[in-house]
Structure formats: C-alpha cells, structure tokens
Structure 1
C-alpha cells in the first residue's frame, strides 16, 4: 500500500497543483496541462484528501488559496529547490567536455551571433550537445525553475520577476530600442520625442512581450498617449516586413537592424529619452559552477573579446552581402 507521501509525490499531482495556483482557473489550467477539467479537479481533490484539508476556496467566481494551500505551495517550491540543488551538485562533479546544455532564448531576440558562436563552440567541444529553445518569458522562467533550462538568454531588467534570490545574471551587451519608420519627413532625424511618433499606426510585439512592455512603460513615464497598435507579431522580421509594406511605425532592437543586409536603407531614430536594456544570461545560482556551463560561459566571453557583439553582426552581414553578389 502506498504511503501518503508516495500518493502525493509519485504522480503529476503537484504539477497540476502548481499550474492551478498560477492561473487560479480550472479551465485555463486544464488547457495548459492538456487534460480535461474533470481530470484536473479529480487530481486536486485527491491531493486535498491526502493532506486532509481544502487547498482552494471560491469567492464568487474567483478561486483563492486556503491557508493549507499556501503551505502546500511553499512546500512544493521547497521540494523543487532541493531537487534542483541536488541536480546541480551532481552535475558539478561531471566533465567539462561531455553532456548537454539547454539554452532558453527569448523568442524576440535576433540570434545570428548566438548561432555563430554555437558553430564555433561545437567545433571545439563536439561531445557537448547544445539545444536552443525559443521561448516566451513565462516559458523561460518555468524552465529555469524546473531545471529544464541551464542558461536563459533574455532582456533585463525584468520587473515581472519579484524574487531574484535563486538566480544570477551575466550581461552580454547593452541594447537600444530604435524607432523604425517609412516617413520621408523624418528621414535623417537622429532623435525623436515620443509624442512625435503617434501620427501613424504601429505594429509591435504581442501584449506582455518584454519589448511591448518597455514601450508602454516609456510612454507612460513621459505622460504620453500609447501608440495605436494595429498588428502584433512575435518575431522582429515579421514586424519589420509589416512595417515596410504598410504606412506604420514600430520599435525594434538595434541588434536586429544591424543584422539586416539592407540596414543602410532602414530609416531609424533614437527615442528621446532613450529606451535601453541589457541582453543577459540568466541562470540559477551556482549553475555557473557546473564545469560544462562554466566552460561555455568562458568561451562565450572570449568569443566576444575577439570581436564584440555588433562587430560579429557586421561580419555576418558582410558575408550575406557577398553571397548576394
């Protein structure tokens, strides 16, 4: 016969419980988990029977955590932290030249420099297998928390994360968000005030994407109306092509503009005040002590010491231009 502990921890019940605490909605949680709502309800009731107390209660249509639910949530996070620490401790004893490295990369990031490094890294370390995962911010943080991602590559600062205690970061480079347009009247203008960017509709990243929030915050802080966004896409190339073929404005990272072979024809301006952020590695504390992770970060540093991030982009563009001829 299974013990109470086995009944809780030998199934997916805790995963279901955590997902429900994030959405506080049975229907949404079930959809994310890929199960039916009755199946989710059954698992939660099973967990409540084992612990001997209700974990949730309802106020009208809103779901709330009970005191027992808060205790279970804290305990579950502690369990995952212990498992992650044990995994990291074991991996710290492994070889620097074998194994896997999983990178969670923000989907809106231009990746050509990272791809160039991956090629060079593989030639030197053929026994280490790299996997690039293009993800949303939420997927990245979930992957870091569950130890499914070794290193995240994302934009910082990120105010959506309230508890930075379990994580460390390492800056890759500083980035500017540039105003992009097709307006001949603005050609040659190096700087532009936010209020001067509202006379055309915009195309932008989806709601809650990092750069979408950066734009909203910048306009809010300057007490300027928000841009009228008429289309949204997840990738910078999609945004650029829509902007190029419509009478619209947008904002894209400087690195994306520098990565295009037609960059000299793109009309850009720096926002006034500037919208700046950092491209950074993010990882669980002490993850960089694992030999293969430490080696990866060290080789990436040397890669950028030889030629910095934007110089690497220039090399890539020059190669593309030569192929075009």
Structure 2
C-alpha cells in the first residue's frame, strides 16, 4: 500500500489548510483543539509522504513553498470532493432534502406540473429542483445517463426502437390521455368531427420541427406514399398557431394545448377536427427503477399521485390555469 494512502486523510488535509490560514502553529493548534506537537507531527507526515517541505521559514514567519502551494490546491479540491460526497450520501437518505432534476419534452403542455411544484415546494422547501426542456432524443439520453431523475413526455415514443429498455430499466405512469387536434382552414369540415387523412394529402402545413413528437407522428399517419407538405416549421406552439391563422396553412397541436388555449385561437379562421386514423398517446412520467431507492424521489412520486387524484379533471385544470 502506498504511504500516501494512510497520510492524505481528510483530517491531515484539514490541519494543513488551517495552518495556512494562520501561518502560526500555536494559533492553528488552538483553533483545531489539539496540541502544537500534534499539529507539527501531522504536517511532517504530509511532507514525508510527498517528499518535499510544504512550509519554509524566514525568521519567525512561515511561508508556503512551491510544493506547499500545489498541495494547497489539491487539498481544497480533495476536501470539497469528500464533503460533497458526504453531503450527497446524507441527502440520499432523506425524504425532505436534496435535489431533483426534471426533464420535460419541449412540446409538452406542462402548466400542471408547475402548479404541483408550487404546492410541493411549500411543503418541502429544502428539496430543490432543476427543470429543463429537451427534444425526445436528448431527453432519453439524459435519462439513460442519469442526468435527469424524472422525465415528463409523451408515450409511446418511437425514439426507443423497442420497448425492452422501457420495461426493464424504467418505471412509467400515464396520467393523461392526449390526442392530435387538426386546425384547418377547410370550411367544409364540421368542428369536432373526424376525417380521413386522405382529405389532407394536398394541404400545406405549418408544423413543429422534425425532432418534436407530433411531426413524426403525423408523418406516420400519412404513410410513406403521401408525406405531409410542410413549408414552415416552428418550435413554439403559440407562434405555430399564429402563423396558421395568418396564412392558408393548416396545423396540428395536442388536445391538452387546445383545451388550455382554445379561447385564444381564432375559431372563425381555424376549425378543430380529428383524424380517423389517430390512435392517441399519453402524457407520462418516466424514471429509472433505481430512483425508487431515493427517499426524496419516493416522496415526490407519492405527492404527485396525491396531486393527480385531487385534480382528476386534467383538462379543466389546464383551462382554469389559463383563465386565472
């Protein structure tokens, strides 16, 4: 075993940094609550371990040698790492402290989650959150690499070529059945009715970029022979609808977004209808199965289920949020 394994302890590094703060053995020993010989012995052990003096002396004044300066940088980094690991382990075992990272699909209507987050934060103020939006591919990558603790997304998702990973590596729960709403300029259609996709083969669309969930979904309904004609792609649902209103292009959005914003959409210009071929999809939360071992994640999911039970009428909640 290398001699540094037994010398570079957190205690010896702490003693070393304390001596740097005071540059006085007597004062440092008093602050540490040890004897001056004990402090001197720890410093000598460090110097013996690295094979160079850490301190020099001019008259009665101490100064750091070049080796001491290098050791100071390393000691700070090592102690920060040790303290960080200890803090993480302590937080890992607590339900009311720690940090949770949430990734949300970039085209998802997520107002309901923010309402839940507000209630949760009041109850558990020591649990902190980071919320970020990603496209489907990046969201899965961050789940796979443990960079987000939980994802809120649409399922099924063809980013995963098969559902093996979803079954064996992840837990997931659906909390809202969503579907596609077509906003069309065709005046011969009745609002709320369903029509075959063949009626839209020659229509032009303003749509989401290809990496958003709904665009590949629409391509799937059209099939390989008849791809939708999409001259303009916009990543913002609000701007997408505005573009459709100010042009002769049709567009498609989710039912959840439509329910929340229907009073903002020009119904005299755009008629909401559905596709007969549409199968629907769900808004779901997804997390790695190992996350259930973390008490704060267990607590988050428990409170989330309570919140959903309290607000079973999801669509009404979305509309109420917009009106309030």
TM-score range, shorter chain: 0.5 to 0.7
Matches within 5 A, 1:144-183: 144-161=143-160, 162=162, 163-164=164-165, 165-183=168-186
Q: Which residue of 1 aligns with 2:247?
A: 246
CA distance in 2: counterparts of 1:142 and 1:116, whole angstroms: 27
CA contact (8 A) 1:106 1:154 kept: yes
Structure 2: runs of 5+ lacking an equivalent: 1-84
What is the CA-CA distance between 1:93 and the residue it aligns to?
4.6
CA distance in 1: counterparts of 2:144 and 2:129, whole angstroms: 19
Q: Which residue of 2 aligns with 1:211?
A: 214
Matches within 5 A, 1:175-324: 175-188=178-191, 190-220=193-223, 225-260=226-261, 261-262=263-264, 265=267, 267-308=271-312, 309-319=314-324
CA distance in 1: counterparts of 2:265 and 2:207, whole angstroms: 19
Deviations 1:134-160 (A, max 9, x none): 111122122112211000111111222
Deviations 1:177-220 (A, max 9, x none): 11112333324351111011234210111123221111111221
Deviations 1:305-324 (A, max 9, x none): 112221211221331xxxxx
CA distance in 2: counterparts of 1:179 and 1:199, whole angstroms: 15
What is the CA-CA distance between 1:262 and the residue it aligns to?
2.5
Report SS of the residue matched to 2:308.
helix
Report SS of the residue matched to 2:253.
strand
Q: How many residue pairs align between the two structures?
A: 231
CA contact (8 A) 1:200 1:248 kept: yes
What is the CA-CA distance between 1:233 and the residue it aligns to?
1.5
In the alignment, structure 1 residue 97 sits paired with structure 2 residue 102: no
CA distance in 2: counterparts of 1:252 and 1:286, whole angstroms: 34
Report SS of the residue matched to 1:259.
helix
CA contact (8 A) 1:107 1:235 kept: no
CA contact (8 A) 1:153 1:282 kept: yes
CA distance in 2: counterparts of 1:177 and 1:91, whole angstroms: 45
Report SS of the residue matched to 1:101.
strand
Q: Which residue of 1 aligns with 2:6?
A: none
Q: Which residue of 2 aligns with 1:119?
A: 118
Q: Which residue of 2 aligns with 1:60?
A: none
CA distance in 2: counterparts of 1:264 and 1:230, whole angstroms: 22
CA contact (8 A) 1:155 1:210 kept: yes
Q: Which residue of 2 aligns with 1:131?
A: 130
What is the CA-CA distance between 1:288 and the residue it aligns to?
2.7
CA distance in 2: counterparts of 1:248 and 1:192, whole angstroms: 17
RMSD across aligned C-alpha pairs, in angstroms?
2.4
Structure 1: runs of 5+ lacking an equivalent: 1-85, 320-325
CA contact (8 A) 2:207 2:233 kept: yes
CA contact (8 A) 2:241 2:265 kept: no
Please report the TM-score for the alignment, with normalisation by the length of structure 1.
0.66
What is the CA-CA distance between 1:264 and the residue it aligns to?
8.3
What is the CA-CA distance between 1:275 and the residue it aligns to?
3.4
